[in-house]
Amino acid sequence: MGDNILEARGVSISFGGVQAVKDVSFEVPRGVIFGIIGPNGAGKTTLLNGISGLVPLSAGHIEFEGQRISGTKKPHQIARLGIGRTFQVARPFDGLTVRENIAVGAVFAGKVGGRKHAEVWSLVDEVMEFVGNADKQDSLVPDLPVAQRKRVELGRAVAIRPKLLLLDEVMAGLNQREVESVMEMVRRIRDRGTTIILIEHIMKAVMGLCDTVMVLRSGQRICVGTPSMVCADDQVIAAYLGDRYAKRKADIGELEQGHAQS
């Protein structure tokens, strides 16, 4: 099993004729924050859906802690193994109170037979405190502002006590201050021993949080490395800003090198 918590080998995911993810392989070492970036439509969310079992893989396989989960486990079984997730557009349970939302995570994803009564409640209280919604615990979710809805969703995923947490753009739509506070929460979750896979568009968050970043473009993996390595990669620049820009940057680079030499 090594020290990789998750390994993906040759993963492809198709919807009809559209191949959203093409032959992607990667491994996520235990205890890291692993970023996935890429332009819209690159297949990032589809890849996460593949990991949590919501969409079937058309090729390849995914192993969690050395155990194959793709094709053999249903989403609820994958959750119980210890993979939690949030959704791109926050999807907390609207008719449930904040506290009940978090209880859902705490109750059902426990070990076989579920968690004990007292254990569930101390867990819920702990998570409530962690996400900082303690005064809103009996509010219904639709009554909350977006930032708090996102916190509820994050709290719900944390409450399953995941070994691996999949975060799909948890910071999108938040203001500067809120982004900072969510970044801090993500760090704290990691420090408690949870490995994190993070999809994010806010580069500040990616650069500040991730140990490793994988870049997808049109469903294909084009680069993996540390955040600074990835940012300097020509293919990545081409993916984000277009081929012409990448070429111009390369030209400028050569020019600058020329100047420096002379």
Residues that bind another protein (CB under 8 A): 52, 54, 74-76, 78-80, 84-85, 87, 91-97, 99-100, 103-105, 107-110, 113-118, 120-122, 124-125, 138, 156-157, 160
First and final C-alpha spacing in the chain:
53
- How many angstroms separate the most distant Cα atoms in the chain? 74
Residue 15 or residue 245: which is nearer to another protein going by CB? 15
Residue 24 or residue 103: which is nearer to another protein going by CB? 103
Burial class (CB in 10 A: 0-12, 13-18, 19+), 117: exposed
Residue 78 or residue 206: which is nearer to another protein going by CB? 78
Residue 140 or residue 224: which is nearer to another protein going by CB? 140
Cβ-Cβ contacts under 8 Å for 135 (sequence gap 6 or more): none
CB of 103 to another protein, least distance (A): 4
CB of 54 to another protein, least distance (A): 6
Q: Half-sphere exposure of residue 261, counting CA atoms within 13 Å on the CB side?
A: 6
The pair of structure tokens assigned to 108 is 């059902």
Q: Is 126 left (phi over 0), alpha (psi -120 to 50) or beta?
A: alpha
CB of 109 to another protein, least distance (A): 3
Q: Measure the CA dihedral 241/25/88/125, to 10°.
A: -130
Query: What are the C-alpha distances in Å from 5 to residues 15, 78, 81?
Result: 27, 13, 12
**C-alpha to C-alpha distance for 241 and 91, rounded to whole angstroms:** 31
CB of 135 to another protein, least distance (A): 12
CB of 53 to another protein, least distance (A): 8
CB of 36 to another protein, least distance (A): 17
Residue 113 or residue 145: which is nearer to another protein going by CB? 113
Contact (Cβ atoms closer than 8 angstroms) between residue 172 and residue 201: yes
Paired with 62 in beta bridges are 8
Residue 61 or residue 80: which is nearer to another protein going by CB? 80
